[in-house]
Amino acid sequence: MKIGYFQFAPVFGDVESNRSRIADAVRQSDAELLVVPELATSGYFFSSSAEVREMAETIPGPTTDALSKAASYTGSTIITGLPERDGENFYNSAVVVGPNGIIGTYRKVHLFNEEKNHFSSGEDGFLLFQLNGIKVGVLICFDHMFPEAARTLTLKGAQIVCHPSNLVLPEYGQLTSRVRALENRIFWILSNRWGHESAHGQCLCYTGASQVVDPKGKVLIRAESSSDEISAVEIDPSLALDKKVTPLNDLMEDRKPEFYL
């Protein structure tokens, strides 16, 4: 199975152009599973909730339509971040789209910093879906700081976790994605953006360095910190079914939930 990421710098507010760039990347990639950054259609650093309202879209909507069309040519499955509108509620969401349309939507559970001013937290838990018999989970950015999130998906059978992100804390996500992959014996696709955005007199610098990590915490491919990149690598998802650290230690079987708060 070939999995990968599209790392780029979305232009804040230029939804149509960002959407087009994502669709073009899908057509260029040979990945069966391609992950795109968090809020990739809109950009990230909103100065007001009015901007979220202006750029948010429904699911299904224009982005899912465009990506489903692109996927119909390639047979691939895409996960991209976008601001979702559901009635009068707004979510930092990641949508999973394949050749036959929408597979699922994940609404970010752990909101970071000023996201709390603009979005509602997701209440449906962490998304798990099947792709050709392989179980795939979805988290978004700051979710990586909560080990329980990745462990929950692992306990549900996830072999791959897809992680659309807009990371601004240097090396945090690149480090934790390796740790989460190692401690759960899963594959991890971190798709992070790069570039800068300004609002409120502040500037955010995104760290790029998207990567794919194997179940032993090894980085299989990694992007540069400040460039567009479409990359993919061949993996054997069955390796994520082996939870043994030694012949006598299985990471899932050795758990002692009765001692955990």
Active site residue 38: yes
Total number of domains in the chain: 1
User: What share of the chain has pLDDT > 90, as a percent?
Assistant: 98
Rounded CA separation 215/41 (Å): 30
Three-state secondary-structure class, residue 88: coil
pLDDT digits (tens, 9 = 90+) for 26-69: 999 999 999 999 999 999 999 999 999 999 999 999 999 999 99
Residue 40's domain comprises: 2-259
Catalytic residue among 32, 57, 108, 115: 108
pLDDT above 70 as % of the chain: 100
Per-residue pLDDT, 200: 82
C-alpha to C-alpha distance for 97 and 114, rounded to whole angstroms: 28
- Tell me what the mean pLDDT of segment 133-162 comes to: 98
pLDDT digits (tens, 9 = 90+) for 71-100: 999 999 999 999 999 999 999 999 999 999
Q: What is the mean pLDDT of residues 227-232?
A: 98
Q: Does 108 qualify as catalytic in the annotation?
A: yes
What's 94's domain CATH number?
3.60.110.10
Do the beta carbons of residue 182 and residue 235 sit within 8 Å?
no
* 141 flagged as catalytic: yes
For the chain, the average pLDDT equals: 97
Mean pLDDT to the nearest integer, 241-256? 97
CA distances from 48 to 55, 108, 109 (A): 11, 19, 21
Strands (E), 108-193: 127-131, 134-138, 160-165, 187-192
pTM of the shown model: 0.97
Q: How confident is the model at residue 7 (pLDDT cuts 50, 70, 90)?
A: very high
Q: Pick the catalytic residue: 141, 162, 197, 229?
A: 141
Residue 199: pLDDT over 90: no
Average pLDDT over residues 144-168: 98
